[in-house]
Amino acid sequence: MSVVPHSAPETPSSAPFVVAALYQFRAVADPAGLRERLLALGEAGGLCGTLIVASEGINGTVAGSRVGIDALHAALLAEGFAGLEYKESGASAQPFRRFKVRLKREIVTLGVPVAPEREVGQYVEAGDWNALIESEDVVVIDTRNRYEVKAGTFRGAVDPGIESFREFPAWLDEHADELRGKRVAMFCTGGIRCEKSTSLLRQRGYRDVFHLRGGILQYLEDVPQEQSRWDGECFVFDGRVTVGHGLREGAAVMCHSCGWPLGEDERAHALFEEGVSCEHCHARTTPEQKAAFRERQRHFDRQVQEGCGA
């Protein structure tokens, strides 16, 4: 993926593109019908990004004009999603390639049954998070994948070292004895994974379970940098790759072979080739795969020139 050079920080009001991250756990009687309505709306409004629809609710991140994003938000409210967790930020360029609405069994895949619409951990507002995680009897757990943690995390947080959220229940089983009797505080990018991870802990008998309302994105927006306990940048699943305090676009570039967020030194490495490889994955792909990745990159570069949906 080509990455637009970083310029002055953008806000939703000043940026040419508004990025909306949203989710809600709510019973959906006809996911397929909702998918068709949202697909038509997004295409008509010139949106890009991905929405995931399942019988348990909706999840996704999309980007577009102020008018297009407002139309989507209004449509979701009309569909009954009055309790949306909804966060906007800005982008200097369209951070997605196309618009997709996917039907899935889960809006975020944990792989074991939980009931976040009925029972989750205690929500902690961003302004109260520092006081909680600085307590000596609190174990702070980053529920994200290891490549996300690599870009940034809260000081002192436990990194489960997982490749996908599906691995979290097994990690919890392995570390259950270490967590018993402790207060457990969990966080993720926008909050959705913690809805399920805290529900899982409550289901397994943990009582003092907390999670950061609105996730890292809310914290980076609300907490002044001089008071922050966050180190690094926050990985986001779009062309911006990372954001920092104030939700300003970050400096990392994603390796589109393995997903690692790459800093300046890693991009200067001899094994880095945009869209093809980096030092973390170069040895794991064949010459044939690299050739296919180069063709994919050329195709994407053409799409960037032509616009979303090309």
Q: Residue 122: helix, strand or coil by DSSP?
A: strand
Q: Cα–chain-centroid distance for residue 287? A: 31
Comparing CA positions, the residue from 291, 295, 234 lying closest to residue 261 is 234
Catalytic residue, chosen from 48, 188, 194, 234, is 188
14-52 b/e with 16+ CB inside 10 Å = b?
ebebbbbbbbbbbebeebeebbeebbebbeebbbbbbbb
Q: Any residues with CB less than 8 A from the CB of 275 and at least 6 apart, and which?
A: 1, 256, 257, 293, 294, 296, 297, 300
Comparing CA positions, the residue from 158, 181, 182, 183 lying closest to residue 171 is 158
Q: Which ranges in 66-164 belong to alpha helices (H)? A: 66-78, 126-133, 146-151
CB 22 within 8 A of CB 50: no
DSSP 8-state secondary structure symbol assigned to residue 260: -
CB 238 within 8 A of CB 49: yes
Instruction: Establish whether 188 is a catalytic residue.
Output: yes
Angle of CA points 63, 66, 69, to nearest 5°? 50
Residues annotated as catalytic (active site), given as ranges: 188
